[in-house]
Chain A
Amino acid sequence: GQNIDQPTEMTATEGAIVQINCTYQTSGFNGLFWYQQHAGEAPTFLSYNVLDGLEEKGRFSSFLSRSKGYSYLLLKELQMKDSASYLCAVIDSNYQLIWGAGTKLIIKP
């Protein structure tokens, strides 16, 4: 079966750096998304990786290793507004999106 694993919850301190990991086993791979979802709101797109390596976008970076079935989202200079759930999703060989359950990130002052 297809599976995506993310930690359920993480806690970090304002101003610090946090890395949220995502491992996947899917039938094929056509890309990986990271989404942010604040409580009670819709998911919003953060990043897309299809090739190995690091994609940087301001305070957020996303890394992919296709051979290891692994990605991470790196958040720097954490702000209170970064408290949210972070969803990892993989596009499989049929171009269907396989979603992880999400990682709830709690930022403490």
Chain B
Amino acid sequence: NAGVTQTPKFRILKIGQSMTLQCAQDMNHNYMYWYRQDPGMGLKLIYYSVGAGITDKGEVPNGYNVSRSTTEDFPLRLELAAPSQTSVYFCASRDRENSPLHFGNGTRLTVT
């Protein structure tokens, strides 16, 4: 049982480039989330999904996009990367609205 798997673990992008952060879970969870965490700061919600085909914006969605075509996968797309998007990105999932989140190991992204 792998849990939540994120790829890649590290990435360096140039300003203006695009990339997709992959997230997959094998626990059949309906709820999936993307967070970013800046040094010494808490988790900021980017996008979330309550099931396949349904996505919604969190508190910091600008510059990002998501899709949820299957229960398992929830990729995060960065278009036109900017230095402000340098951060650690965590994907998480849970099976019910009041269940604890299961986190992936994170993707450390640097935009220069």
**Could you tell me if A45 and B43 are in contact, using CB atoms closer than 8 angstroms?**
no
Query: Which residue of A42, A44, A50, A101 contacts B98 across the interface (Cβ within 8 Å)?
Result: A50
Given contacts A42-B105, A44-B103, contact A91 B97 (CB under 8 A): yes
Knowing A42-B106, A87-B43 are in contact, say whether A95-B97 is a contact too (CB < 8 A): yes
CB pair B105–A31 under 8 Å, yes or no, is no
Q: How large is the interface on A (under 10, 10 to 19, 20 to 34, 35 or more residues)?
A: 10 to 19
A33-67 CB mask vs B (1 if < 8 Å, else 0) is 10000000111110010100000000000000000
Residue contact B42 to A87, C-beta cutoff 8 Å = yes
Flag if B104 contacts A30 (CB, 8 Å). no
For the complex, would chain A's binding face be called helix, strand, loop or mixed by DSSP majority? loop
> Do A101 and B41 have beta carbons less than 8 Å apart?
yes
Does residue A106 face the partner (Cβ distance < 8 Å to B)? no
Residues of A within 8 A of B102 (CB): 45
- CB-contacts of A70-109 with B (<8 A): 87, 91, 95-97, 99-102
**How distant is the Cα of A44 from the Cα of B106 in the complex, in angstroms?**
12
Does B100 contact A45, Cβ atoms closer than 8 Å? yes
Q: Across the interface, do A30 and B98 meet the contact criterion of CB distance under 8 Å?
A: yes
Q: How distant is A4 from chain B, measured CB to nearest CB, in Å? A: 8
Provided the pairs A91-B97, A95-B98 are in contact, do residues A102 and B105 lie with their beta carbons within 8 angstroms? no
> Contacts of A45 on B, CB cut-off 8 Å?
100-102
Contact, CB under 8 Å: A100 / B104: no
